[in-house]
């Protein structure tokens, strides 16, 4: 057994990360209404969006950042933010192309392989990613039948929401699903 490797495991954080798109428009869901009334919902019809990156550690620390798009550059920037906050960590993430196929991301992970260990979760398995539940909660609270007067107002509300909201989800429950599925 490698004692140095065991020490690294003890000092390492466990971090789950993901990203989601928040579209500047109202989300419409089924609702109970009077059969004689017609519901009115304001929609914007905009295609503008904000890409939100999130990371949550097993001890509950949260990092959220907004970007205009999801690509190698924005993902790598976010990984560097995580790495500065958690100098040694295991990164649990899905196999989105910028996570898994990007040459620049692979190079960064290789350069930092002693302190930053990627753990790729099974494809098409959102139930293993705690942040999927975070996105669902946030979209329900922020977008469901909500109207924002401008895209800038929308982005500011997203920023404020994620700066102040504590989700209190237990990452262990999601990671254990992963382990249990492979037993």
Report pLDDT for 168.
86
Q: Where residue 37 falls among pLDDT bands split at 50, 70, 90? A: confident
Q: How many CB atoms lie within 10 A of CB 78?
A: 22
Report pLDDT for 1.
40
Q: How far is CA 175 from the centre of its chain?
A: 15
**pLDDT at residue 180 greater than cutoff 80:** no
Q: Is 53 inside a domain boundary?
A: yes
Residue 165 burial class via C-beta count within 10 angstroms: exposed 0-12, middle 13-18, buried 19 and up:
middle
Q: Where residue 28 falls among pLDDT bands split at 50, 70, 90? A: low
Q: Where residue 117 falls among pLDDT bands split at 50, 70, 90? A: very high
Per-residue pLDDT tens for 148-169? 888 999 999 999 999 999 998 8
CA distances from 121 to 3, 64, 145, 174 (A): 27, 20, 33, 11
Domain that holds residue 118: 3-27+42-181
Q: Is the pTM of this model over 0.75?
A: yes
Q: Are strands 89-93 and 116-120 parallel, antiparallel or unpaired?
A: parallel
**pLDDT at residue 182 greater than cutoff 50:** no
Number of domains forming the structure of the chain: 1
Q: Is 10 inside a domain boundary?
A: yes
Beta bridge partners of 57: 15
Q: Is 35 inside a domain boundary?
A: no
Q: Is 165 inside a domain boundary?
A: yes
* CATH number, position 147: 3.30.420.10
Tokens of 114: 């002693």
The DSSP symbol for 57 reads: E
Report pLDDT for 100.
86
Angstrom distance (rounded) from CA 62 to CA 76: 18
């Amino acid at each position: 057994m490698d004692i140095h490797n065991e020490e690294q495991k003890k000092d390492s954080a466990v971090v789950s990360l993901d990203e989601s798109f928040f579209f500047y428009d109202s989300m419409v869901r089924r609702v109970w209404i009077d059969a004689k009334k017609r519901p009115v919902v304001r929609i914007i019809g905009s295609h503008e969006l904000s890409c939100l990156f999130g990371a949550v550690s097993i001890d509950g620390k949260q990092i959220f950042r907004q970007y205009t798009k999801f690509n190698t550059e924005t993902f790598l920037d976010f990984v560097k933010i995580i790495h500065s906050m958690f100098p040694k960590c295991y990164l649990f993430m899905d196999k989105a192309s910028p996570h898994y196929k990007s040459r620049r991301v692979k190079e960064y992970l290789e350069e930092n392989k002693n302190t930053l260990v990627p753990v790729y979760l099974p494809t098409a398995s959102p139930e293993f990613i705690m942040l999927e539940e975070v996105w669902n909660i946030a979209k329900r609270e922020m977008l469901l039948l909500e109207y924002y007067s401008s895209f800038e107002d929308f982005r500011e509300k997203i920023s404020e929401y994620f700066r102040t909201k504590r989700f209190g989800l237990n990452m262990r429950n999601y990671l254990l699903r992963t382990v249990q599925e492979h037993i």
